[in-house]
Amino acid sequence: MHFDALLLSRLQFAFTIAFHIIFPSFTIGLASFLAVLEGLWLATKNDTFKLLYLFWVKIFAISFGMGVVTGVVISYEIGTNWSAFAAAAAPVIGPLLAFEVLTAFFLEASFLGVMLFGWRKVGPKLHFASTSLVAFGTVVSAFWIISANSWMQDPSGFTTLHDGTLRATDWARVIFSPTFPIRLIHMILAAFLTTSLVVGAASAWRLLKEPSEEQSELALRMAIGMFAIVAPLQLLAGDASGKWVLQAQPAKLAAIEAFWDTKPSQAFHIAAWPDRASASNRWELSIPKLGSLITAGDVNARVQGLKAFAPADRPPVAVVFWAFRVMVGLGVAMIALGFWGAFLVWRGVLVHSPLFLRACVAMGPAGFLAVVAGWIVAEVGRQPFVIYGVLRTDQALSPVSGGEVSVSLLSFMMIYAVIFSFGVLYILRLIAKGPVAGGLEPAPAMARPPGYALAALADEPERDG
């Protein structure tokens, strides 16, 4: 494999965006969870909700900060590494990304300050409004970014001029490209699932340590309520999204299912070893006819295989095939966890099932893995195009050298490894302390200065700061 600027740029973009997507897919759901907690506290005056809010808002602050700084990178990488894409795509999707900044980023960034630091500066209602605006901003941000990405998957509402440049002809069809609505639903549900699994895992971990911690039991019930309902809905949304892939990107669908020949009654491959060189599966474990039923809704349906496309137009198969199975496998596990949890809640024996609590802890990262796997299916499956059918990835590259990109890629990997390790450590440490430790006072989140009355209670001496 030759490590040229193209391959390195693809690796860098894949790495930086896969790393970035972890944070929004958690904070989109968490911001809404916080808004619900604060709303319930205002409505009921039950301090358990406030305690949970003050606990989760600290975890939100860490995650959101990491999402912001890794997100800025993406907007500049479009120019540093993919300048030909930037020049080609801007007439159509440039406004979508500008709208994201104008409608979402400023809203989130400004009201985040009030949300984190404004408890004693504004009244409870204004504070709740700030939390809600941040939550709204995260969803609006997802709206625009999925809109731009959906257009790249199935471009519509544009025309190609004589000189080869693109022009939007119908903004509604650019923003609402055919696959956009279902893909947005799929992403938002994924974010809510991811968050509820993390909240569930953290609360279950707390209950394994402190079975009588009522705040954690309440949070676990809320989490179960969320993923027990959303996980099955996500299966439907994912299936509907897949039906669009069959129409809009048949090569991607063929890669997802490792179909090589175009034929009726395709078999469903539970597992396979797809090999692009021989244009076949070296090995497969299959159920006859089920493939056509799942992808086209009819056991006799004729479904295109990869051989219907020129070898240069076929996406990588094994990566897409297996990423899809990881995503769906995790989704099925989430549905099972949801039914199990709902059953335990119904029987009123939730905290008495250490096995379920351990399963919740184990499933904590499942949402992140499923999101990244799903992203791999969507993006790698679209190859060799960056704008499907319009611009090939190898024509999207900037005039940069392999040397520059290898240095930048290594730098990103090192810095991201450091911030990821510390971010996870600090979040786990907060969870280990639990919601009660933080108390009802809105956070001496700032370090206590010497002379502060409670400085003697600081749990660790400070060497420097």
Instruction: Considering only the stretches 33-41, 78-86, 219-227, 294-302, report the one whose residues sit in contact with another protein under the rule CB under 8 A.
Output: 78-86
Site for another protein in 41-70 (CB under 8 A): 61-62, 65-66, 68-70
The interaxial angle of helices 124-153 and 5-44, nearest 10 deg, is 150
Locate all alpha helices (DSSP H) within 260-304, ordered by sequence.
Answer: 290-296
Instruction: Considering only the stretches 107-115, 184-192, 336-344, 358-366, report the one whose residues sit in contact with another protein under the rule CB under 8 A.
Output: 107-115
What's the Cα-to-Cα distance from 107 to each of 130, 168, 324, rounded to whole Å? 9, 27, 34
Selected binder of another protein within 412, 431, 434, 438 (CB under 8 A): 412
Give which of 23, 422, 375 is closest to 198, Cα–Cα.
23
Residue 435 touches another protein, criterion: CB under 8 A:
no
Contact between residue 457 and residue 439 where contact means Cβ atoms under 8 Å apart: no
The interaxial angle of helices 124-153 and 106-117, nearest 10 deg, is 150
Structure tokens belonging to residue 279 = 């244009």
Give which of 28, 58, 323, 348 is closest to 196, Cα–Cα.
28
Contact between residue 193 and residue 326 where contact means Cβ atoms under 8 Å apart: no
Selected binder of another protein within 13, 55, 111, 322 (CB under 8 A): 111
Cα–Cα distance for residue pair 255/148, rounded to 1 Å: 23
Cα–Cα distance for residue pair 128/142, rounded to 1 Å: 22
Selected binder of another protein within 348, 451, 456, 457 (CB under 8 A): 451
Cβ–Cβ contacts within 10 Å for residue 429, how many?
9
Selected binder of another protein within 399, 440, 456, 457 (CB under 8 A): 399
Selected binder of another protein within 22, 92, 323, 372 (CB under 8 A): 92
Residue 195 touches another protein, criterion: CB under 8 A:
no
Residue 113 touches another protein, criterion: CB under 8 A:
yes
Residue 102 touches another protein, criterion: CB under 8 A:
yes
CB of 247 to another protein, least distance (A): 28
Locate all alpha helices (DSSP H) within 101-166, ordered by sequence.
Answer: 106-117, 124-153
Closer to another protein at the Cβ: 348 or 461? 461
Cβ–Cβ contacts within 10 Å for residue 418, how many?
10
Q: Which x/- pattern, by CB under 8 A, does the window 149-168 give for another protein?
A: ------------------xx
Residue 460 touches another protein, criterion: CB under 8 A:
yes
DSSP single-letter state for residue 312: G
Residue 362 touches another protein, criterion: CB under 8 A:
no
Closer to another protein at the Cβ: 109 or 236? 109
Closer to another protein at the Cβ: 288 or 403? 403
Closer to another protein at the Cβ: 77 or 379? 77
Residue 421 touches another protein, criterion: CB under 8 A:
no
Residue 210 touches another protein, criterion: CB under 8 A:
no
Selected binder of another protein within 39, 48, 117, 301 (CB under 8 A): 117
Closer to another protein at the Cβ: 147 or 295? 147
Residue 131 touches another protein, criterion: CB under 8 A:
no
CB of 307 to another protein, least distance (A): 37
Contact between residue 166 and residue 174 where contact means Cβ atoms under 8 Å apart: no
Contact between residue 18 and residue 373 where contact means Cβ atoms under 8 Å apart: no
